[in-house]
Amino acid sequence: VRIIDTMPVNDVYVEDGKVYSKLDLAVAQAARISLRTTDLDYKPEQAIKLVKTLFDLGHWSPFEQVVIKFQCKVPLFVAVQLIRYRSVSWNMKSGRYTTEFHEVYKPTVWRGKHPTNRQMGQGEVQLPEGLPQEVEAYLEWGLALHKKLAHHGVESGLARIVLPEAIFTEMQGTVNARMLVHLLAQRMAHDAQQETQEFARALCEQWRAVMPYFGALVAQQEGWE
Ligand SMILES: Cc1cc2nc3c(=O)[nH]c(=O)nc-3n(C[C@H](O)[C@H](O)[C@H](O)COP(=O)(O)OP(=O)(O)OC[C@H]3O[C@@H](n4cnc5c(N)ncnc54)[C@H](O)[C@@H]3O)c2cc1C
């Protein structure tokens, strides 16, 4: 996953020995419209204090004025969980327009079932000899069969029915900072699917690089560090 664009344009800089980000400061700038003083000449230190006040009071709308655009490559079963977020605008590689699916996700660890929580895995299951190879062959076979159908002229939208959920797909999402935090909080939680957690952690790392102050406030609240 990588962030490809932001509004405002990403700009992290140092002033008086402190690191500031245009994205963090944009939250304060948006909030100041209430006082009709939207000028950006406020000292960044004051602006950052305002961001903290808004966060503490739960005044979320100014955080919606910052927008993040990202691209990612994820297995289809992760993509299905992500597109449930209606607050993100998504575009996705189309199985109707292309037959270019060459890669499948192959787990290195077979997680076991959690005894009480159906959403979670626990530990590692030792599969009988040959079973991991059988799964791998099945996944590769799905890709090969898909190509074969396409080769024989079958419409891409129909040929894709043989593709496994493990295929990697590509997506682009655009989301405001408030709703990004909503997604990250749900998908970095311990009961989220591990592969989706990995995606969320990678996106979070990138987001915190462009919005370090708000990122740190959220991380503290969510217990991420
Ligand atoms: C651990 C976990 C397990 C899950 N298990 C299942 C499952 O078994 N089955 C299943 O179907 N889904 C499941 N989900 C998906 C879940 O129900 C949500 O669809 C998903 O997490 C997106 O959350 P959201 O709707 O809050 O996000 P968004 O769609 O981004 O919405 C953000 C917020 O906007 C508001 N909103 C958006 N649209 C509406 C609307 N139409 N009406 C009212 N308010 C709205 C809500 O406040 C919402 O929280 C699971 C999610 C998690 C994290």
170-202 residue pLDDT tens? 999 999 999 999 999 999 999 999 999 999 999
- With a 6 Å cutoff on the Cβ, whether 186 touches ligand 1 is yes
The per-residue pLDDT for 196 is 98
* Nearest atom of ligand 1 to the alpha carbon of 191: 1
Query: For atom 32 of ligand 1, which residue has the closest CA?
Result: 87
**Polymer length of the chain:** 225
Provide the token pair at 76: 């289809």
The per-residue pLDDT for 132 is 94
Residue 39 pLDDT greater than 70, yes or no:
no
Whole-number mean pLDDT of the chain? Answer: 93
Tell me the pLDDT tens digit for each residue of 120-151. Answer: 788 899 999 999 999 999 999 999 999 999 99
Q: How confident is the model at residue 159 (pLDDT cuts 50, 70, 90)?
A: very high
Edge-to-edge, what's the strand order for the sheet holding 2-7?
2-7, 67-75, 168-176, 89-92
- With a 6 Å cutoff on the Cβ, whether 124 touches ligand 1 is no
How far is residue 58's CA from residue 31's CA, in Å, rounded to a whole number?
Answer: 13
Q: What is the mean pLDDT of residues 97-101?
A: 79
Q: Check if 187 is active-site.
A: yes
Residue 38 pLDDT greater than 60, yes or no:
no
Share of the chain above pLDDT 90, in %: 82
The per-residue pLDDT for 34 is 77
The per-residue pLDDT for 36 is 63
Top mutation candidate among 84, 90, 120, 184 for ligand 1, by most atoms within 8 Å of CB = 84
Our CA angle for 57, 37, 30, nearest 5°, is 50
- With a 6 Å cutoff on the Cβ, whether 192 touches ligand 1 is yes
- Computed from CA positions of residues 177, 178, 179, 182, in that sequence, does the dihedral angle turn out positive or negative? positive
The per-residue pLDDT for 40 is 56
Instruction: Report the b/e string of 15-54 with b at 16+ CB within 10 A.
Output: eeeeebbbbbbbbbbbbbeeeeeeeeebebeebbebbeeb
Among left, alpha and beta (phi > 0; psi -120 to 50; other), residue 33 is alpha
Q: Choose the weakest-confidence range: 23-37, 149-163, 204-218.
A: 23-37
**C-alpha closest to that of 31 among 66, 67, 62:** 62
CA of 192 to the centre of ligand 1 (A): 13
Claim: this prediction has a pTM higher than 0.75: yes
Q: What is the mean pLDDT of residues 69-77?
A: 98
The per-residue pLDDT for 41 is 62
Contact 1, 201 (CB under 8 A): no
Residue 94 pLDDT greater than 60, yes or no:
yes
**C-alpha closest to that of 101 among 172, 171, 168:** 168
The per-residue pLDDT for 119 is 78
How far is residue 53's CA from residue 101's CA, in Å, rounded to a whole number?
Answer: 48
